[in-house]
Amino acid sequence: MDWIRENKPLAAILGVILVGTLALGYLLYDSWSSYEETKEGYIGLGNQMAALKGARLAPTDANLQAKKQMVDEYAADVNKLGAALLILQPKVEPMKDIEFQAKLKTKISEIRTAAQSKMQLPADFAFGFDEYTSSLPTSAAAATELSGYLDAMDELVKMLLKCNVQSLDLLERSKLALEAKAAANAPAGGAAAQRQGAAEILEKRQISLILTLDQGALQLLVSRLATTEMPFFTSVRQLRIENQLQEGPLRSSVRLPATNGPKMGGGQAAAASEEVASDEIRPPAPAPIDTIPVFGNELLKVRMEIDLVKFLDAAKGVAAQIPAGR
Protein backbone atom coordinates (compact mmCIF):
# COMPACT_ATOMS: atom_id res chain seq x y z
CA MET A 1 0.00 0.00 0.00
CA ASP A 2 2.86 2.37 0.77
CA TRP A 3 4.24 1.80 -2.73
CA ILE A 4 0.86 2.67 -4.27
CA ARG A 5 0.65 5.88 -2.22
CA GLU A 6 4.16 6.83 -3.26
CA ASN A 7 3.62 5.95 -6.98
CA LYS A 8 0.02 6.89 -7.65
CA PRO A 9 0.43 7.69 -11.40
CA LEU A 10 2.27 4.44 -12.10
CA ALA A 11 -0.18 2.45 -9.99
CA ALA A 12 -3.10 3.98 -11.89
CA ILE A 13 -1.54 3.07 -15.22
CA LEU A 14 -0.90 -0.51 -14.09
CA GLY A 15 -4.47 -0.77 -12.81
CA VAL A 16 -5.88 0.40 -16.14
CA ILE A 17 -3.67 -2.10 -17.97
CA LEU A 18 -4.84 -4.93 -15.70
CA VAL A 19 -8.51 -4.06 -16.13
CA GLY A 20 -8.08 -3.72 -19.91
CA THR A 21 -6.31 -7.09 -20.10
CA LEU A 22 -9.14 -8.78 -18.22
CA ALA A 23 -11.73 -7.11 -20.46
CA LEU A 24 -9.90 -8.13 -23.64
CA GLY A 25 -9.53 -11.68 -22.35
CA TYR A 26 -13.26 -11.88 -21.72
CA LEU A 27 -14.06 -10.53 -25.19
CA LEU A 28 -11.62 -12.99 -26.77
CA TYR A 29 -13.16 -15.92 -24.92
CA ASP A 30 -16.67 -14.82 -25.86
CA SER A 31 -15.71 -14.43 -29.54
CA TRP A 32 -14.02 -17.83 -29.60
CA SER A 33 -17.11 -19.47 -28.11
CA SER A 34 -19.33 -17.79 -30.72
CA TYR A 35 -16.95 -18.89 -33.49
CA GLU A 36 -17.04 -22.51 -32.36
CA GLU A 37 -20.83 -22.50 -32.21
CA THR A 38 -21.10 -20.93 -35.67
CA LYS A 39 -18.56 -23.37 -37.11
CA GLU A 40 -20.38 -26.40 -35.72
CA GLY A 41 -23.67 -25.08 -37.08
CA TYR A 42 -22.15 -24.49 -40.53
CA ILE A 43 -20.63 -27.98 -40.68
CA GLY A 44 -23.89 -29.53 -39.57
CA LEU A 45 -25.86 -27.59 -42.18
CA GLY A 46 -23.36 -28.62 -44.87
CA ASN A 47 -23.75 -32.27 -43.91
CA GLN A 48 -27.52 -31.94 -44.10
CA MET A 49 -27.31 -30.37 -47.56
CA ALA A 50 -24.97 -33.11 -48.77
CA ALA A 51 -27.34 -35.76 -47.44
CA LEU A 52 -30.29 -34.12 -49.19
CA LYS A 53 -28.41 -33.87 -52.49
CA GLY A 54 -27.30 -37.49 -52.29
CA ALA A 55 -30.74 -38.80 -51.38
CA ARG A 56 -32.89 -40.47 -54.01
CA LEU A 57 -35.71 -38.50 -55.52
CA ALA A 58 -39.15 -39.31 -54.33
CA PRO A 59 -40.95 -41.39 -57.00
CA THR A 60 -43.50 -38.74 -57.90
CA ASP A 61 -44.71 -37.54 -61.28
CA ALA A 62 -43.50 -33.99 -60.57
CA ASN A 63 -39.96 -35.16 -59.85
CA LEU A 64 -39.99 -37.42 -62.91
CA GLN A 65 -41.02 -34.59 -65.22
CA ALA A 66 -38.46 -32.22 -63.67
CA LYS A 67 -35.67 -34.75 -64.14
CA LYS A 68 -36.67 -35.43 -67.74
CA GLN A 69 -36.64 -31.71 -68.47
CA MET A 70 -33.17 -31.27 -66.96
CA VAL A 71 -31.81 -34.28 -68.87
CA ASP A 72 -33.28 -32.99 -72.14
CA GLU A 73 -31.74 -29.54 -71.62
CA TYR A 74 -28.36 -31.07 -70.81
CA ALA A 75 -28.52 -33.36 -73.85
CA ALA A 76 -29.38 -30.41 -76.11
CA ASP A 77 -26.40 -28.42 -74.80
CA VAL A 78 -24.04 -31.38 -75.29
CA ASN A 79 -25.26 -31.92 -78.85
CA LYS A 80 -24.81 -28.22 -79.63
CA LEU A 81 -21.25 -28.40 -78.36
CA GLY A 82 -20.54 -31.47 -80.48
CA ALA A 83 -21.97 -29.81 -83.58
CA ALA A 84 -19.91 -26.66 -82.92
CA LEU A 85 -16.71 -28.70 -82.60
CA LEU A 86 -17.41 -30.42 -85.91
CA ILE A 87 -17.94 -27.03 -87.57
CA LEU A 88 -14.65 -25.66 -86.19
CA GLN A 89 -12.78 -28.76 -87.31
CA PRO A 90 -11.27 -28.44 -90.82
CA LYS A 91 -13.17 -30.38 -93.45
CA VAL A 92 -11.55 -33.30 -95.26
CA GLU A 93 -12.30 -33.61 -98.97
CA PRO A 94 -12.62 -37.08 -100.52
CA MET A 95 -9.41 -38.14 -102.21
CA LYS A 96 -8.11 -41.03 -104.27
CA ASP A 97 -4.95 -42.93 -103.47
CA ILE A 98 -2.94 -41.47 -106.37
CA GLU A 99 -4.07 -37.95 -105.49
CA PHE A 100 -2.90 -38.41 -101.91
CA GLN A 101 0.57 -39.52 -103.00
CA ALA A 102 0.87 -36.51 -105.30
CA LYS A 103 -0.32 -34.22 -102.50
CA LEU A 104 2.23 -35.70 -100.10
CA LYS A 105 5.14 -35.18 -102.49
CA THR A 106 4.02 -31.61 -103.21
CA LYS A 107 3.85 -30.69 -99.52
CA ILE A 108 7.25 -32.27 -98.85
CA SER A 109 8.76 -30.16 -101.61
CA GLU A 110 7.04 -26.99 -100.33
CA ILE A 111 8.29 -27.48 -96.78
CA ARG A 112 11.84 -28.25 -97.91
CA THR A 113 11.84 -25.06 -99.95
CA ALA A 114 10.41 -22.97 -97.10
CA ALA A 115 12.83 -24.45 -94.55
CA GLN A 116 15.99 -23.63 -96.49
CA SER A 117 18.38 -21.64 -94.27
CA LYS A 118 15.59 -21.40 -91.63
CA MET A 119 15.13 -24.83 -90.10
CA GLN A 120 17.07 -28.04 -90.48
CA LEU A 121 14.97 -31.04 -91.49
CA PRO A 122 15.72 -34.78 -91.28
CA ALA A 123 17.28 -36.23 -94.40
CA ASP A 124 14.27 -38.50 -94.98
CA PHE A 125 11.64 -35.91 -94.05
CA ALA A 126 8.16 -36.97 -95.22
CA PHE A 127 5.80 -35.81 -92.40
CA GLY A 128 5.93 -39.37 -91.03
CA PHE A 129 4.33 -40.76 -94.21
CA ASP A 130 7.54 -42.29 -95.56
CA GLU A 131 5.92 -45.44 -96.92
CA TYR A 132 3.50 -43.47 -99.10
CA THR A 133 6.22 -41.77 -101.09
CA SER A 134 6.70 -45.07 -102.93
CA SER A 135 3.39 -46.88 -102.33
CA LEU A 136 -0.31 -46.05 -102.35
CA PRO A 137 -2.91 -46.21 -99.55
CA THR A 138 -5.00 -49.35 -99.39
CA SER A 139 -8.28 -47.64 -100.33
CA ALA A 140 -9.90 -44.33 -101.16
CA ALA A 141 -11.29 -44.13 -97.60
CA ALA A 142 -7.78 -44.53 -96.20
CA ALA A 143 -6.48 -41.90 -98.63
CA THR A 144 -9.14 -39.44 -97.43
CA GLU A 145 -8.29 -39.97 -93.76
CA LEU A 146 -4.58 -39.74 -94.48
CA SER A 147 -5.14 -36.50 -96.37
CA GLY A 148 -6.68 -34.85 -93.30
CA TYR A 149 -3.88 -36.27 -91.17
CA LEU A 150 -1.32 -34.83 -93.59
CA ASP A 151 -2.96 -31.40 -93.46
CA ALA A 152 -2.58 -31.36 -89.67
CA MET A 153 1.08 -32.41 -89.87
CA ASP A 154 1.70 -29.74 -92.49
CA GLU A 155 0.18 -27.03 -90.28
CA LEU A 156 2.32 -28.21 -87.37
CA VAL A 157 5.57 -28.04 -89.35
CA LYS A 158 4.64 -24.60 -90.71
CA MET A 159 4.09 -23.45 -87.13
CA LEU A 160 7.58 -24.69 -86.25
CA LEU A 161 8.93 -22.47 -89.02
CA LYS A 162 6.96 -19.46 -87.78
CA CYS A 163 8.26 -19.98 -84.23
CA ASN A 164 11.90 -19.98 -85.42
CA VAL A 165 12.68 -23.57 -84.48
CA GLN A 166 16.27 -24.19 -85.55
CA SER A 167 16.11 -27.93 -86.15
CA LEU A 168 13.44 -30.60 -86.48
CA ASP A 169 15.39 -33.69 -85.48
CA LEU A 170 12.53 -36.21 -85.39
CA LEU A 171 8.91 -36.31 -86.55
CA GLU A 172 6.87 -39.45 -86.01
CA ARG A 173 3.16 -40.20 -86.00
CA SER A 174 0.84 -42.98 -84.92
CA LYS A 175 -0.76 -45.04 -87.65
CA LEU A 176 -4.48 -45.04 -88.33
CA ALA A 177 -6.62 -48.13 -87.89
CA LEU A 178 -7.26 -48.12 -91.63
CA GLU A 179 -3.54 -48.36 -92.27
CA ALA A 180 -3.01 -51.25 -89.89
CA LYS A 181 -6.21 -52.95 -91.09
CA ALA A 182 -7.12 -53.53 -87.44
CA ALA A 183 -10.46 -51.86 -86.97
CA ALA A 184 -12.02 -52.69 -83.62
CA ASN A 185 -14.80 -55.27 -83.63
CA ALA A 186 -18.18 -53.92 -82.51
CA PRO A 187 -19.69 -55.44 -79.31
CA ALA A 188 -22.54 -57.90 -79.58
CA GLY A 189 -25.20 -55.40 -78.54
CA GLY A 190 -27.16 -54.13 -75.57
CA ALA A 191 -25.59 -51.80 -73.01
CA ALA A 192 -22.05 -52.63 -74.16
CA ALA A 193 -22.85 -51.47 -77.68
CA GLN A 194 -24.36 -48.25 -76.36
CA ARG A 195 -21.28 -47.54 -74.23
CA GLN A 196 -18.99 -48.24 -77.19
CA GLY A 197 -21.01 -45.91 -79.42
CA ALA A 198 -21.01 -43.18 -76.80
CA ALA A 199 -17.24 -43.44 -76.35
CA GLU A 200 -16.38 -43.18 -80.06
CA ILE A 201 -16.89 -39.45 -80.42
CA LEU A 202 -13.23 -38.58 -80.99
CA GLU A 203 -10.00 -40.09 -82.19
CA LYS A 204 -6.57 -39.25 -80.79
CA ARG A 205 -3.54 -39.38 -83.05
CA GLN A 206 -0.13 -39.16 -81.41
CA ILE A 207 2.66 -37.03 -82.86
CA SER A 208 6.24 -37.21 -81.53
CA LEU A 209 8.78 -34.46 -82.15
CA ILE A 210 12.37 -33.77 -81.14
CA LEU A 211 13.31 -30.12 -81.63
CA THR A 212 16.37 -27.94 -81.20
CA LEU A 213 15.42 -24.37 -80.35
CA ASP A 214 15.88 -21.57 -77.85
CA GLN A 215 13.65 -20.73 -74.91
CA GLY A 216 11.74 -17.94 -76.65
CA ALA A 217 10.84 -20.17 -79.58
CA LEU A 218 9.63 -22.90 -77.21
CA GLN A 219 7.36 -20.51 -75.31
CA LEU A 220 5.96 -19.19 -78.57
CA LEU A 221 5.32 -22.69 -79.92
CA VAL A 222 3.51 -23.94 -76.81
CA SER A 223 1.31 -20.85 -76.65
CA ARG A 224 0.41 -20.94 -80.35
CA LEU A 225 -0.58 -24.60 -80.19
CA ALA A 226 -3.36 -23.56 -77.80
CA THR A 227 -4.68 -20.72 -79.97
CA THR A 228 -6.66 -20.47 -83.18
CA GLU A 229 -3.41 -20.15 -85.14
CA MET A 230 -3.47 -23.95 -85.10
CA PRO A 231 -6.69 -24.86 -86.95
CA PHE A 232 -6.62 -28.46 -85.70
CA PHE A 233 -7.37 -29.50 -82.13
CA THR A 234 -4.12 -30.35 -80.35
CA SER A 235 -3.10 -31.17 -76.79
CA VAL A 236 0.49 -31.30 -75.53
CA ARG A 237 0.59 -34.57 -73.62
CA GLN A 238 4.28 -34.71 -72.71
CA LEU A 239 7.06 -32.12 -72.76
CA ARG A 240 10.67 -32.93 -71.88
CA ILE A 241 13.26 -30.14 -71.92
CA GLU A 242 17.01 -30.39 -71.48
CA ASN A 243 20.03 -28.35 -72.49
CA GLN A 244 21.58 -29.24 -75.81
CA LEU A 245 24.98 -29.40 -74.09
CA GLN A 246 25.02 -31.14 -70.73
CA GLU A 247 28.31 -29.54 -69.59
CA GLY A 248 29.41 -25.93 -69.55
CA PRO A 249 32.31 -24.67 -71.67
CA LEU A 250 35.87 -24.88 -70.37
CA ARG A 251 37.66 -21.66 -69.59
CA SER A 252 40.34 -22.50 -72.12
CA SER A 253 37.73 -22.79 -74.88
CA VAL A 254 36.35 -19.27 -74.33
CA ARG A 255 37.95 -16.74 -76.65
CA LEU A 256 37.29 -13.04 -76.91
CA PRO A 257 36.51 -11.78 -80.41
CA ALA A 258 39.49 -10.25 -82.17
CA THR A 259 39.40 -6.45 -82.28
CA ASN A 260 41.36 -4.90 -85.10
CA GLY A 261 41.47 -1.16 -84.67
CA PRO A 262 41.30 0.96 -87.83
CA LYS A 263 44.64 2.01 -89.26
CA MET A 264 44.94 5.73 -89.89
CA GLY A 265 46.67 6.95 -93.00
CA GLY A 266 48.02 10.44 -93.60
CA GLY A 267 44.64 11.98 -94.43
CA GLN A 268 42.93 10.30 -91.48
CA ALA A 269 45.69 11.42 -89.09
CA ALA A 270 45.29 15.01 -90.29
CA ALA A 271 41.53 14.81 -89.82
CA ALA A 272 42.04 13.43 -86.32
CA SER A 273 44.41 16.27 -85.43
CA GLU A 274 41.87 18.81 -86.69
CA GLU A 275 39.19 17.23 -84.48
CA VAL A 276 41.49 17.44 -81.48
CA ALA A 277 42.28 21.07 -82.23
CA SER A 278 38.61 22.03 -82.55
CA ASP A 279 36.53 23.11 -79.56
CA GLU A 280 33.74 20.59 -80.29
CA ILE A 281 33.38 17.95 -77.59
CA ARG A 282 32.98 14.48 -79.05
CA PRO A 283 32.12 11.26 -77.20
CA PRO A 284 35.00 8.88 -76.61
CA ALA A 285 35.44 5.84 -78.80
CA PRO A 286 33.88 2.60 -77.49
CA ALA A 287 36.10 0.50 -75.29
CA PRO A 288 37.39 -2.79 -76.69
CA ILE A 289 35.35 -5.91 -75.93
CA ASP A 290 36.64 -7.53 -72.76
CA THR A 291 33.68 -9.77 -71.79
CA ILE A 292 31.74 -12.53 -73.50
CA PRO A 293 28.51 -14.28 -72.39
CA VAL A 294 29.09 -17.90 -71.43
CA PHE A 295 25.67 -18.99 -70.12
CA GLY A 296 22.19 -18.09 -71.30
CA ASN A 297 22.68 -18.48 -75.05
CA GLU A 298 22.69 -22.28 -75.17
CA LEU A 299 19.97 -24.09 -77.14
CA LEU A 300 17.41 -26.54 -75.80
CA LYS A 301 16.69 -30.08 -76.88
CA VAL A 302 12.93 -30.65 -76.54
CA ARG A 303 10.85 -33.78 -76.94
CA MET A 304 7.13 -33.21 -77.39
CA GLU A 305 4.26 -35.68 -77.45
CA ILE A 306 1.19 -34.08 -79.00
CA ASP A 307 -2.31 -35.54 -79.25
CA LEU A 308 -4.04 -34.54 -82.46
CA VAL A 309 -7.76 -34.76 -81.65
CA LYS A 310 -10.28 -35.44 -84.39
CA PHE A 311 -13.98 -35.33 -83.50
CA LEU A 312 -16.07 -37.92 -85.29
CA ASP A 313 -19.55 -37.45 -86.71
CA ALA A 314 -21.00 -39.21 -83.66
CA ALA A 315 -20.10 -36.15 -81.55
CA LYS A 316 -23.08 -34.29 -83.02
CA GLY A 317 -25.56 -36.65 -81.36
CA VAL A 318 -23.48 -37.98 -78.50
CA ALA A 319 -26.14 -37.21 -75.87
CA ALA A 320 -28.67 -39.38 -77.68
CA GLN A 321 -26.31 -42.36 -77.40
CA ILE A 322 -26.11 -42.23 -73.59
CA PRO A 323 -28.53 -44.68 -71.96
CA ALA A 324 -31.36 -42.96 -70.11
CA GLY A 325 -30.76 -44.91 -66.92
CA ARG A 326 -27.17 -43.70 -66.50
Confidence (pTM): 0.64
Sign of CA dihedral 68, 71, 75, 77: positive
The C-alpha atoms of residue 156 and residue 164 are separated, in whole angstroms, by: 13
**pLDDT tens digit at each of 326 positions of the chain:** 677 777 778 878 888 898 889 989 988 988 888 888 899 999 999 888 888 888 887 888 888 898 899 999 988 888 888 888 888 889 989 999 999 999 999 999 999 999 998 999 999 999 999 999 999 998 899 999 999 999 999 999 999 999 999 999 999 999 988 887 634 444 444 444 444 444 578 889 999 999 999 989 999 999 999 988 999 999 999 999 998 777 766 777 777 777 665 554 555 555 555 555 566 778 888 888 777 776 666 789 999 999 999 988 887 765 555 544 44
* Span 86-180+201-246+299-321 CATH architecture: 2-Layer Sandwich (3.30)
Cα dist from 165 to 45, 160, 236, whole Å: 57, 6, 17
Residues 178, 138 contacting (CB under 8 angstroms): yes
